Structure 1
Amino acid sequence: MLTPLPDALATEDGKRTVSLNEIVVRKAWRGRGVAWQLHEAWLTHRAEERVTLLVNPLNGDGAVQAVHEAWGYRKLGDQQPFADSPVFSVMLRSVAQADA
């Protein structure tokens, strides 16, 4: 993290948080809710309490991050995993959502 998180938020026990790497949907299937359905189906089988992911806020002029926000994620801060990588938004949400 470029700015450290509070200990209560960053503390891990190996079972608290799952990390999502990518969901890729073929172009012909985009805009139909397929990625969201895959995402929610995957989370249904998770035992962790929360899920985290990295989003490049420049992708799609911010549209990719906005999609994740619509899915219930909130931005925690920024991370640059490598010196030559983009700065990513670190996003987090609960695995189970009341409105899901």
Structure 2
Amino acid sequence: MSEPLAEDFTRENGKRTVALNEIVVRKPWRGSGVAWQLHEAWLSQRDEERVTLLVNPAAGEGAVQAVYEAWGYRKVGEQQPFPDSPLFTTMVRPVRGT
């Protein structure tokens, strides 16, 4: 994280947080709700309290981050996982509901 988060926020017990790596939908199905359905179906099988992801804020000229915000994610900070990677927005939401 570019700025430290509170210890109670980052404390993990092995079952608190699951990380989402990628959702990719082929062009013919984009905008049809398929990504949302896949996302929610995956989360419905999870026992964790919350889900986190990284998003490039420049992706889709901000549209990708806006989609995640519409799905209930909120920005909690920024991080650059590798020296040559972009600065990603770190987002979190509860596993159940938005």
Per the shorter chain, which TM-score range?
A: over 0.9
CA drift at 1:8: 0.7
TM-score, normalized by length of structure 1?
0.96
* SS at 1:4 equivalent: coil
* SS at 1:93 equivalent: strand
Runs (5+) with no aligned partner, structure 2: none
The count of residues paired between Structure 1 and Structure 2 equals: 98
Q: Which residue of 1 aligns with 2:91?
A: 91
Q: Which residue of 2 aligns with 1:82?
A: 82
CA drift at 1:60: 0.5
Q: Which residue of 2 aligns with 1:57?
A: 57
TM-score, normalized by length of structure 2?
0.98
- Percent pairwise identity: 69
Q: Which residue of 1 aligns with 2:37?
A: 37
CA distance in structure 1 between the aligned counterparts of 2:45 and 2:74, rounded to whole angstroms: 22
CA RMSD of aligned residues (A): 0.7
* SS at 1:41 equivalent: helix
CA distance in structure 2 between the aligned counterparts of 1:13 and 1:2, rounded to whole angstroms: 23
Matches within 5 A, 1:11-50: 11-50=11-50
In the TM superposition, what whole-angstrom CA distance separates every residue of 1:34-86 from its partner, at most 9, and x where no partner exists? 00000000000000000000000000010000000000000000000011100
Q: Which residue of 1 aligns with 2:3?
A: 3
Runs (5+) with no aligned partner, structure 1: none
